[in-house]
Amino acid sequence: MAKLSGANAILQSLIAHQVDTIFGLPGGQLDHFFDALYHTQNKVRFIGTRHEQGAAYMAFGYARSTGKVGTYVVVPGPGVLNTTAALCTAYACNSPVLCLTGQIPSHAIGKGAGELHELPDQLATLKSLTKWAARIEHPTHAPNLVAEAFKQMTTGRPRPVALEMAMDVMADQADVSLSSVESFKPVEPDSDIIADAAKEILAASRPMIYVGSGAIDAADEIQELAELIQAPVVSFRAGRGIVSDDHYLGFTLPMGHSYWPQVDMVIGIGSRMMEPLSHWGTDKNLKVVRIDIDPVEVNRINKPEYALVSDARITVRSLIDAVRKKIGNVRSREDEFRSLKAKIESSIRQVQPQVSYLEVIRQELPRDG
């Protein structure tokens, strides 16, 4: 137990979850939170912005570039509404962003009395833009609700969440028990589905792997599987770099589209798969394996032959093990794929002068830039 203000209870709970950077903009409803921040400068770095939208996009960029939760804090009402474009971006890009916002005095919430920065129902607005949102109504509730926020962001499909606390609750003092940080085991795949999917992969003559942002942590395993079955790895925006473009199996979207008519098996990993399944066309001969942590996503466009609702890295490793047991010698298709890649790249270079600009930028950047 520790005697903490509501604001400090939130901050100490964030520190327990290894938050060391917060972006934001001060304001009257956050006075007590910024007072708590001032006294923890040795543990938490605050980066102030000139506009709330900047704070939220910085948190989004931080989450994208580090893989950790990006946290920002803004005043309620117009302050938090100014961040909603970034929240929507984080939602669309499956990024773990934590929105912290103040509230008008607790006795006035929902009364419509005209308090500064009052919204008709701020919490309902936040719930419509995030994976999960809650109001912390007492300092003692902060540790559990912060823990739930991190659980929502870091298990299942990662997406932004929001927490709000009224300005008077931020000032209130109480004996707060800081809960221990819970660790979560990744979701394991169904072994029977793994075995059946492996048989289908072994029977395919022209397999393809299609990846999105949900496959980022499985990059090594995906390249190993691709080399094992000689399948090109096609990436949409968020999947770029999972298999390098320099590798003969690393395909851009135009390359994948060109090769698609020959494909008889596609393995989708951490991707909505909108382009191939909705836009490129399917037929009865195409077999589909979907690997996704979101049970809704695997069946969203059409029902795949094999749906694995599980962690991408563990699932791909299980597929590799199952396939490797029975696979024979697979002929390298490097010459075929490098020829296709060169053909598509040549056609893209005809888009001038734009491509020449990009080539100069590419020359100046580090290779992994």
Fill in the amino acid letter for 368: D
Q: What is the pLDDT of residue 358?
A: 93
Confidence of residue 184 (pLDDT cuts 50, 70, 90): confident
Q: What is the pLDDT of residue 181?
A: 85
Q: What is the pLDDT of residue 300?
A: 87
pTM value is 0.89
- Tally the residues of the chain: 369
Average pLDDT on 124-139 reads: 98
Q: How far is CA 97 from CA 12, 14, 200, 295, in A?
A: 18, 13, 38, 21
Fill in the amino acid letter for 283: D
Which tens digits make up the pLDDT trace of 330-364? 999 999 999 999 999 999 999 999 999 999 999 99
Q: Is 333 exposed, middle or buried (0-12, 13-18, 19+ CB in 10 A)?
A: middle
Using alpha carbons only, how large is the chain's radius of gyration in Å?
24
Residue 356 to residue 260: CA distance in whole angstroms? 28
High-pLDDT (> 70) share of the chain, %? 100
Q: Compute the mean pLDDT over every residue in the chain, rounded to the nearest whole number.
A: 95
Which tens digits make up the pLDDT trace of 42-80? 999 999 999 999 999 999 999 999 999 999 999 999 999
- Name the DSSP class of 207: E
Q: How far is CA 259 from CA 230, 280, 331, 343, 350, in A?
A: 13, 11, 18, 12, 20
Confidence of residue 327 (pLDDT cuts 50, 70, 90): very high
User: What's the token pair of residue 311?
Assistant: 């962690």
